[in-house]
Amino acid sequence: MRLYDYALDENGYKVRLALGALGVACETVAVDMFPGAEQTRPPLIDLNPLGTLPILVDGGTVLREAEAILVYLARRHDPAGTWLPADAAGLAETMVWLTFAARDLQAATRARRVAMFGAPGDADALDREARAAFRAMEDHLTLRALAGRDWFVGGAATVADLALFPAIALSRDFGIDHEAYPALRRWMRRVRGLPGFCTMPGIPDYQ
C-alpha cells in the first residue's frame, strides 16, 4: 500500500490518522504540492486526473478523495465495523459527516491555504464560511454531550471524527480562536487520545 501525500495537507492528514487508528502499515511518498504542484503532472496526474491529493494505491486499486479512502480503509481493515458502522442508521449518519467534511469544511481548507501558501481566494469570505461550519459542529457536539455521547456518531470514534478533526484542529493557522468552541476543544482532546494518533505541524496539544 502506498500513499502519495504532502506533509502539510489536511486531507492527507485524514488518511494518516486512519492508518494510525487502524494500525495499518503504508509507504508514504512525499509530493511537492506547494509550491511545486507535482500532483498535477505525470506520473501522478495519471493516477488521479483531477490533480489532487491524497492518492492511495493498494495493489490494483487506486483511490482519490480522503473521505473515500477512509471508507475503504475502514471496510478493509476493520471487520468489526468499529470505525465504519455496519447498521443502516449509523452508516448513514457517518456518511452525513463525511459529506460535511468534504463539502462544508472546504472553506476552512481553502482559508488555511490562502493564509499559509498564498493560494487564491477571498480570505474574509472563506473565514466566515469556515466559522459557520465550525459552529454547526460545535452545536452538534453540545447536543451530543447532553445525551452523554462523546463522538459525532454513535458511542465510539468513527471515520467521521477522523475526517472532521483536521479542519478545526489546524484552523489556528488562519486565525481561528479555539476558545470559542468548548465542545470541539473537549472532542479534539479525545481525538488526540485515540490509539495510534499521529500529529502534524499546527495541531494543538490540549491538556
Domain shared by 108 and 70, yes or no? no
What angle separates helix 159-169 from helix 10-22, to the nearest 10 degrees? 140
Contacts of 185 (CB under 8 A, 6+ apart): 178, 179, 206
> Which phi and psi (to 5°) does residue 188 adopt?
-60, -35
3-class SS at 28? Answer: strand
Domain shared by 100 and 27, yes or no? no
Domain shared by 131 and 175, yes or no? yes
Q: Which cell numbers hold the place of 146?
A: 447532553
> Would you say 11 and 66 are in contact if contact means Cβ atoms under 8 Å apart?
yes
Domain shared by 164 and 71, yes or no? no
The whole domain housing 188 covers 88-192
> Would you say 2 and 63 are in contact if contact means Cβ atoms under 8 Å apart?
no
Q: For the chain, which residues score pLDDT lower than 70?
A: 206-207
Q: Which cell numbers hold the place of 187?
A: 472532542
Domain shared by 103 and 58, yes or no? no
With respect to residue 67, please indicate whether it lies within any of the assigned structural domains. Answer: yes
The domain boundary, picked from 20, 53, 77, lies at: 77
Q: Which amino acid is at 166?
A: P
Between CA 29 and CA 127 the distance in angstroms is: 31
115-149 pLDDT, tens digit each? 999 999 999 999 999 999 999 999 999 999 999 99
> Would you say 2 and 154 are in contact if contact means Cβ atoms under 8 Å apart?
no
The domain boundary, picked from 77, 97, 118, lies at: 77
Domain shared by 66 and 95, yes or no? no
Domain shared by 185 and 139, yes or no? yes
Domain shared by 72 and 121, yes or no? no
Q: Is the pTM of this model over 0.75?
A: yes
The pLDDT of residue 62: 98
Domain shared by 93 and 139, yes or no? yes
Domain shared by 112 and 173, yes or no? yes
> Would you say 18 and 159 are in contact if contact means Cβ atoms under 8 Å apart?
yes
With respect to residue 203, please indicate whether it lies within any of the assigned structural domains. Answer: no
Domain shared by 55 and 103, yes or no? no
